[in-house]
Chain A
Amino acid sequence: MSPEIKFPTNPFEDIKPSEFNKLNKKHVTEDFVSENLKNLGWDVYSPFNDTGIDRIIIKSVCPEGHTEVNGNLKNKKCPICNKESIGIKRFVQVKTRQLKNNIFGFTLKSKDIRIDPRHIYFLYSDNTTAEKQDFLIISVKQYLKFFIDNSINPFAPTSFRKGNNKLNSLKYNSSTDKWSWGRHSWEAYRNIFGMEKIQDSNVDINLNIEIERTRELADKLQRVFNKGSSYSEDTKNKINEELTKNLTEYKDPSKIINLRKKVEKYLQDNCDQITIDSMNKYFEFIKTLDTIGEEEDGD
């Protein structure tokens, strides 16, 4: 633990983060995050054009975890165990919000749930108080595990897949100066403590296993259907049965590939060439969106 390190700090001494408004703060908030990450020894990379990833951060650390949270062993061996350092990389998605009634409200869509455990959600509260800012920093794996451990599932409602499931459970208690999700503490992810967690090089060393574990967590949460007010109880039950069945069946990847081939053939047999061309053109458009960082409009 390194509680003596002040993180975050305002790197821009002429202006407070709380003095910006919603319209003019986008650039400064991302810069605020970057400068604070640099202060902890990370090399920070910004997107050439907007993408779903707001920053890639890289540093070299001891594989045994001996590197301080503000250290970087670039081209050096660990001074404690003499082991070669390893490069670690994190893919950071930043969400900046002003607290409303002490709530940090944000939305994560199904496209934001990546199963690479190096994907990090960086939640930036830019006005915890006028003088104080907070980061809540959590990897996708830790995020999913938090919900499993606490029997919460924000991924089951239809609103999650619609992309409008605003999460309003992350709260700041000004009298205790603590962050929590509902009644569960989030202090472990706050500021320097969150940064210590994401610096764990085991994620990089055991990447393949960590990806599998993250997939398992994601499936447990995402492959559940809550009907809400939109669907009937009967539909909910049938859909949940179907999801369980398919999850088991598609453990054999050839099953989903064969299904998709069958569907493709069905469409080829039942569509004229203009419709097929239109479908393919739209597919190419969607593929491009991932590189240029925009979202599909309409349906």
Chain B
Amino acid sequence: MEINNKSIAYAFIANGVQIFLNDEDYFIASKLVCSDCGDSWYMNLTECFLCGAKNPFLFRCSSCGSFQSITKSSGKCNSCHSENLFIMCPNENCISNKDSNINKEANSFGGVFNKNSGLLIAQQYCLNCGSQKHQYKSYKVFIRSVNTNEIILKDLNLDLNDFTKDSILIVKYKTGGSNPQYCLLKYKDLTEQNIKLSHLKNLFSDIVKELFPVGDRKKQ
């Protein structure tokens, strides 16, 4: 993989986007997002199977009710020193907290958010808008580096047969020892031979935000 492409690929990964390669000079950038608002969807994130509350990654002491970190735990409650620590659902109104039998049975497996309980499930509801739908959003990404902000399309040696409607061109503009700036060009932007780079971004994360925007929930 060419070094410029590799550098941009790593920049995508750092911004939560997955990269897929073939033998060509472009790659696929893909992300699982909410179908309604575009927010990131995390299949490794778990939620309570019973009420949908997000995993807090915290122990709760069933004796005194205090919460504490699961990563720094000594196995005893920091407040009352009891050993009754469980990864319980943090929703007071969850049936696993309101019903004493269910609570007892769930805690016998370490609490709702202990994977042995079988009472947790991968993310089902969007963290931003509450939608139940997710989908892959992906682009075919072409990278070109230039040192002038006025470019001629044919000089970029893009194979326009490969540049399909879901393709994007990221032009990395850099002069001398300056930091790179980035310009995002889409299929519809490549109609003219002479292109003046505009809306240059100083941060690569701004390019990612433009490609994977998070908005309000779609009107139903």
Contacts and interface: CB of A to CB of B under 8 A. Distances in A.
Contacts of A282: 57, 69-71
Interface of B: 9, 13, 16-22, 27-28, 30, 32, 35-36, 40, 42-45, 49-58, 65-72, 87, 90-92, 95, 99, 101-102, 105, 109-110, 113-122, 124-127, 129-136, 138, 161, 164-166, 217
Given A162-B118, A299-B113, A253 B130 contact: yes
Interface in A251-299: 253-257, 259-260, 262-263, 266-267, 270-271, 274-275, 278-279, 281-283, 286-293, 295-296, 299
A34 B15 CA distance: 27
Interface in A50-79: 51-53, 55-56, 58, 74-75
A188 interface: no
Interface residues of A, number: 86
Given A238-B102, A253-B125, A278-B57, 4 more contacts: A49-B19, A160-B118, A279-B57, A296-B44
DSSP majority for the A interface?
helix
B132 A215 contact: yes
A243 B47 CA distance: 13
Given A48-B9, A48-B21, A238-B95, A259 B101 contact: no
Contact of A111 (B44, B132, B136): B44
DSSP majority for the B interface?
loop
Given A91-B136, A114-B134, A270-B67, A43 B22 contact: yes
A111 B115 CA distance: 13
Contacts of A47: 18-21
A235 B217 contact: no
